[in-house]
């Protein structure tokens, strides 16, 4: 063999080896990657994954700690991972991950989605696990606030957070504008949307910042309009979610206030405009109790109040979210156990400062404030009273993704526009939404 | 090396070629296999999905034949979505190609500092679409930069992203400024490859600036024009990030396009079967349009005589 040949052979060998390696790697990767390894009997090696839509470090840390506690006491679970996602991506996240065979085992689920997930059989019935847990005390939960998650004997989710949107406001901005703040309006006994609309407009005129902004709204999430709706006794559909009621006189009145504040008074941001209350760019916002975690970082003096009342009285517009175990998960028995663990008295007491429970034994001012740097018993007492006596979770449609998508799109197209007739716009909204209900 | 070695090597050449070919094929194998797996299998999977009704949450899938395709025809939203889609296809392919060509001609000059201009046009093509779009969202927000600029001449404020033709025009502008750089580069390369003697000969024959461009330069770069045009057609069907990030297709579906509708049906409305049918429909549309352009090329492209 000549030197030339020799060199060629030598340089070819590693190349061939490399390409063979690449090929075998490809074969290996496209080969058997079956996801469903069944749970090894008794081995302490099950890794659970839980998804939550809060990225707040305090919230994540709380659930991580509880996950560790659960993993320690469980004979089969070795670890629990907590992952955050954006609530708007909920359906996208679940459908992709379920289709890929790798869904989260446990997750938060908003009440809007309850019926859809339950009727699709996507949630694990927790009844057996609850009954097998001696000190769970199921009767401790307020039954009327559980109803969206119960079907006969079956229990598909445990509400961990049931609470109203509450008003957070920036005392400094009100003082600077020389306008009565919500606390002062409440003291006067005139804490209504009409009065709040007026003070918000005055504040915006004086300071050039929005008087009010809906938290997490972005003109894409109709549920953030609930404080308006509930104060006027309005709902997008009837109790059975069978007929659109966006055209009711109450709804027209409620939405007229919202529309007027946004497009006539300029006291709320218009579509596309950003205003961050927590950054001091708006005088007030309505958000859930969990958002109080943001108050630790703000550099203004703040207050909280219920959202304003209206003709329907002081009804508390209640949102709700549950912890559920997904039926498509790979470790459903352990997932159900983890859900029930998180719903136990001790665990709920841990996070109830952020997420008001409907477990009466832990729905007390002392427990709600124990882990919070910002809340006081006086601040949360009205909240608790509201949940216990006036709490009302809005009716839920079975095909929620389609209904919510149509409602949000139609509101955006017809109502979130300047210079429109509100009643006419809402009639158009019903034309879009009605065919999907019932 | 002696003549002897050559003659000794000659008979082995056939074997060596065969070995080389095998080696070449081996090198190609991962790529080809990957393309087959990722491409054909996936396309086949989508076609199969499009004939079914899938409920991911319930884990069910039933065969429904062509029902999903019939839905496309009867879907009242489709007229808006398709006209928006074709608006982008027409505007981005025609205007996009013309603008890129005009810019390339302008930039194809020997001027001091011309590279700065070339870079300025090209840089947006290097930025990710998401970042580019978010910058534009900032520019377009109410009382934002653009409102400020048009306000200087006493106009506006305009609802840039609140639907209608205005929003579509804004989208077309954003998409075009993003991608024009790549096309300008393709045209610049083609322009610089036009033989100078052809141009000189035309000049000697008394051809003016426009005639030289129209009858000498343009035929020489017609292959590049065709390529850019075809890329723009298939690319403009895929306008997606803009819609998702700026308007979510709204208000209503006023700014939605086919690619976005596929996403909405599959991942927002959990209707994967219908989304798959829409995807197949989109695929057929792109194939058809590029096919037509490819057929027409023989008449238009200078070097294509076959």
Cα(A416)–Cα(B162) distance, rounded to whole angstroms?
A: 9
Is residue B109 in a domain?
A: yes
Is residue B113 in a domain?
A: yes
pLDDT tens string A305-331: 888 989 987 666 678 999 999 999 999
> What single DSSP character describes residue B105?
H
- Position A178 confidence tier, pLDDT thresholds 50, 70, 90: very high
Residues B253, A409: C-beta atoms closer than 8 Å: yes
Backbone phi, psi, residue A79, to 5°? -160, 160
Is residue B159 in a domain?
A: yes
Instruction: Check if the beta carbon of residue A224 is closer than 8 Å to that of residue A280.
Output: no
Q: What is the CATH number of the domain that holds B206?
A: 1.10.3720.10
Claim to verify: residue B163 and residue B244 sit in the same structural domain: yes
Beta-strand runs (E) in chain B:
52-55, 60-63
Claim to verify: residue B42 and residue B89 sit in the same structural domain: no
Of A274, A401, A410, the CB nearest to B270: A401
- Angstrom CA distances, A171 to A49, A176, A180, A306, stand at 41, 9, 10, 15
For the cut 90, the answer to whether the pLDDT of residue A438 exceeds it is no
Instruction: Check if the beta carbon of residue A300 is closer than 8 Å to that of residue A209.
Output: no
Claim to verify: residue B282 and residue B145 sit in the same structural domain: yes
Q: Is the peptide bond before B157 cis (omega within 30 degrees of 0)?
A: yes
- Position A334 confidence tier, pLDDT thresholds 50, 70, 90: very high
Is residue B6 in a domain?
A: no
Selected for mutation to probe chain A from B10, B45, B56 (highest A CB count within 10 Å) is B56
Q: Which residue of A has its CA nearest to B35?
A: A26
Better-scored residue on pLDDT, A168 or B238: A168
For the cut 50, the answer to whether the pLDDT of residue A24 exceeds it is no
Q: Which of A88-97, A136-145, B8-17, B67-76 has the lowest mean pLDDT?
A: B8-17
In a 3-state reduction of DSSP, which class is residue A357?
Answer: coil
Chain B, window 55-84: residues with a beta carbon less than 8 angstroms from a chain A beta carbon: 55-59
How many residues in total does chain B contain? 306
Cα(B172)–Cα(B89) distance, rounded to whole angstroms?
A: 10
B165 to chain A nearest CA, in Å?
A: 14
Q: How many domains is chain B built from?
A: 2
Claim to verify: residue B144 and residue B273 sit in the same structural domain: yes
Count the helices and strands in chain A (H runs, E runs): 16, 12
Of A23, A401, A409, the CB nearest to B29: A23
Better-scored residue on pLDDT, B25 or A257: A257
Cα(A365)–Cα(A376) distance, rounded to whole angstroms?
A: 8
Claim to verify: residue B44 and residue B77 sit in the same structural domain: no
On chain B, the residues whose CB falls within 8 A of the CB of A414 are 251-252
Of A4, A16, A417, the CB nearest to B23: A16
Claim to verify: residue B120 and residue B199 sit in the same structural domain: yes
- Position A289 confidence tier, pLDDT thresholds 50, 70, 90: confident
Averaged pLDDT of chain A: 86
For the cut 50, the answer to whether the pLDDT of residue A36 exceeds it is no
Instruction: Check if the beta carbon of residue A170 is closer than 8 Å to that of residue A280.
Output: yes
Strand-pairing partners, residue A162, are A320
Instruction: Check if the beta carbon of residue B233 is closer than 8 Å to that of residue B289.
Output: yes
On chain B, the residues whose CB falls within 8 A of the CB of A22 are 30
- Cβ of B10 under 8 Å from any chain A Cβ? no
ipTM of the shown complex: 0.79
- Cβ of A273 under 8 Å from any chain B Cβ? yes
Q: What's the pLDDT score for residue B39?
A: 85
Q: Per-residue pLDDT averaged across A368-392, rounded?
A: 78
Residues B27, A19: C-beta atoms closer than 8 Å: yes
pLDDT tens string B220-232: 999 999 999 999 9
Residues B272, A95: C-beta atoms closer than 8 Å: yes
Of A15, A116, A416, the CB nearest to B251: A416
Claim to verify: residue B30 and residue B161 sit in the same structural domain: no
- How many other C-beta atoms can be found within 10 angstroms of the C-beta atom of residue A75? 9
Claim to verify: residue B130 and residue B170 sit in the same structural domain: yes
Residues B56, A92: C-beta atoms closer than 8 Å: no
- Cβ of A410 under 8 Å from any chain B Cβ? yes
Backbone phi, psi, residue A373, to 5°? -85, -15
Strand-pairing partners, residue A106, are A50, A325
A379 to chain B nearest CA, in Å?
A: 36
**DSSP β-ladder status, A106-110 and A316-325:** antiparallel
Residue of A207, A411, A191, A413 whose CA lies nearest to A306 = A191
Claim to verify: residue B33 and residue B125 sit in the same structural domain: no
Cα(B244)–Cα(B82) distance, rounded to whole angstroms?
A: 17
The proportion of chain A whose per-residue pLDDT surpasses 90, expressed as a percent, equals 56
Is residue B216 in a domain?
A: yes
- C-alpha atoms less than 13 angstroms from C-alpha of B146 in its C-beta half-sphere: 15
Is residue B3 in a domain?
A: no
Give the domain range for residue B30.
12-50
**pLDDT of chain B, 306 residues: tens digit per residue:** 444 444 444 455 566 777 788 888 889 988 888 888 888 888 899 999 999 998 888 888 899 999 999 999 999 999 999 999 999 999 999 999 999 999 999 999 888 888 899 899 999 889 999 999 999 999 998 888 999 999 999 887 888 998 889 999 999 999 999 989 999 999 999 999 999 999 999 999 988 889 999 999 999 999 999 999 999 998 899 889 999 999 988 898 899 999 999 999 988 888 899 999 999 999 999 999 989 988 888 777 766 544
- Cβ of B251 under 8 Å from any chain A Cβ? yes
Cα(B157)–Cα(A205) distance, rounded to whole angstroms?
A: 19
- Cβ of A274 under 8 Å from any chain B Cβ? yes
How many residues in total does chain A contain? 438
- Angstrom CA distances, A282 to A106, A269, B61, B193, stand at 36, 9, 48, 59
Claim to verify: residue B219 and residue B91 sit in the same structural domain: yes
B27 to chain A nearest CA, in Å?
A: 6
- Which pair of structure tokens corresponds to residue A47? 């890794």
Cα(A164)–Cα(A304) distance, rounded to whole angstroms?
A: 12
Cα(A148)–Cα(A163) distance, rounded to whole angstroms?
A: 15
Cα(A423)–Cα(A255) distance, rounded to whole angstroms?
A: 9
Is residue B129 in a domain?
A: yes
Cα(B90)–Cα(B105) distance, rounded to whole angstroms?
A: 22
Claim to verify: residue B39 and residue B122 sit in the same structural domain: no
On chain B, the residues whose CB falls within 8 A of the CB of A12 are 23
Selected for mutation to probe chain A from B139, B270, B274 (highest A CB count within 10 Å) is B270
> What single DSSP character describes residue B75?
-
Claim to verify: residue B288 and residue B254 sit in the same structural domain: yes
- Cβ of B306 under 8 Å from any chain A Cβ? no
pTM, to two decimals? 0.82
Of B26, B37, B142, the CB nearest to A272: B142
Q: What's the pLDDT score for residue B234?
A: 87
């Amino acid at each position: 063999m000549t030197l030339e040949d020799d060199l060629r052979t030598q340089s070819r060998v590693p190349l061939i080896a490399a390409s063979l390696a690449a090929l075998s790697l490809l074969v290996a990767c496209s080969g058997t990657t079956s996801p469903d390894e069944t749970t090894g009997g008794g081995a302490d090696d099950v890794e659970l994954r839980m998804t939550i839509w809060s990225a707040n470090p305090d919230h994540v840390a709380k659930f991580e700690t509880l996950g560790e506690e659960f993993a320690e006491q469980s004979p089969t679970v070795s670890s629990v991972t907590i992952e955050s996602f954006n609530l708007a991506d909920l359906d996208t996240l679940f459908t992709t991950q379920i289709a890929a065979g790798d869904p989260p085992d446990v997750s938060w689920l908003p009440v809007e989605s309850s019926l859809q997930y339950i009727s699709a059989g996507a949630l694990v019935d927790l009844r057996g696990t609850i009954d097998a847990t001696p000190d769970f005390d199921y009767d401790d939960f307020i039954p009327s606030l559980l109803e969206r998650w119960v079907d006969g004997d079956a229990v598909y989710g445990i509400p961990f957070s049931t609470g109203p949107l509450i008003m957070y406001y920036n005392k400094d901005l009100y003082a600077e504008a020389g306008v009565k703040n919500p606390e002062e309006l409440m003291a006067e006994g005139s804490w209504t949307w009409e009065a709040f609309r007026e003070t918000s407009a005055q504040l915006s005129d004086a300071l050039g910042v929005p008087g009010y902004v809906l938290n997490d709204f972005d003109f894409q999430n109709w549920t953030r309009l609930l404080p308006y709706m509930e104060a006027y006794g309005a709902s997008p559909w009837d109790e059975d979610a069978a007929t659109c009621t966006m055209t009711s006189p109450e709804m027209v009145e409620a939405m007229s206030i919202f529309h007027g504040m946004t497009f006539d008074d300029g006291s709320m941001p218009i579509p596309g405009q950003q205003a961050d209350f927590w950054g001091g760019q708006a005088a007030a916002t309505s958000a859930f109790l969990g958002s109080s975690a943001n108050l630790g970082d703000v550099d203004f003096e703040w207050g909280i109040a219920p959202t304003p009342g209206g003709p329907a009285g002081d009804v508390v517009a209640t949102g709700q979210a549950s912890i559920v175990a997904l039926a498509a998960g790979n470790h459903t028995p352990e997932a159900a156990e983890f859900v029930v663990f998180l719903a136990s008295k001790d665990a709920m007491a841990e996070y109830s400062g952020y997420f008001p429970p409907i477990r009466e034994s832990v729905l007390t001012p002392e427990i709600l404030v124990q882990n919070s740097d910002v809340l006081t018993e006086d601040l949360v007492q009205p909240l608790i009273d509201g949940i216990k006596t006036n709490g009302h979770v809005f009716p839920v449609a079975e095909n929620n993704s389609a209904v919510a998508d149509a409602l949000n799109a139609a509101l955006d197209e017809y109502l979130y526009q300047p210079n429109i007739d509100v009643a006419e716009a809402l009639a158009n909204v019903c034309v879009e939404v009605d065919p999907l209900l019932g | 090396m002696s003549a002897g070695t050559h003659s000794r090597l000659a008979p082995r050449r056939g074997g060596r070629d065969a070995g080389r070919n095998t080696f070449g094929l081996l090198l190609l194998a991962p790529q080809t296999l990957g393309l087959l797996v990722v491409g054909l299998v996936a396309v086949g999977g989508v076609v199969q999905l499009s004939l079914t009704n899938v409920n991911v949450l319930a884990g069910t899938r039933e065969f429904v034949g062509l029902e999903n395709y019939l839905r496309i025809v009867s879907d009242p939203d489709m007229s808006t979505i398709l006209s928006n889609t074709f608006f982008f296809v027409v505007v981005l392919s025609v205007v996009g190609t013309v603008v890129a060509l005009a810019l390339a001609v302008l930039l194809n000059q020997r001027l001091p500092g011309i590279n700065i201009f070339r870079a300025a046009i090209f840089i947006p093509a290097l930025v990710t679409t998401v970042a580019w779009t978010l910058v534009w969202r900032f520019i377009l927000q109410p009382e934002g930069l653009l409102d400020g600029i048009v306000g200087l001449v006493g106009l506006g404020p305009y609802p840039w992203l609140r639907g209608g033709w205005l929003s579509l025009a804004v989208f077309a502008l954003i998409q075009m400024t993003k991608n024009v750089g790549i096309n300008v580069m393709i045209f610049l390369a083609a322009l610089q490859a036009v033989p100078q003697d052809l141009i000189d000969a035309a000049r000697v024959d008394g051809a003016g600036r426009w005639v030289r461009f129209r009858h000498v330069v343009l035929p020489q770069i017609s292959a590049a024009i065709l390529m850019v045009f075809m890329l723009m057609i298939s690319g403009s069907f895929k306008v997606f990030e803009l819609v998702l990030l700026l308007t979510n297709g709204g208000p209503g579906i006023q700014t939605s396009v086919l690619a976005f509708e596929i996403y909405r049906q599959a991942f927002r409305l959990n209707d994967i079967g219908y989304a798959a049918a829409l995807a197949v429909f989109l695929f057929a549309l792109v194939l058809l349009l590029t096919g037509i352009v490819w057929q027409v090329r023989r008449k238009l492209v200078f070097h294509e005589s076959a």
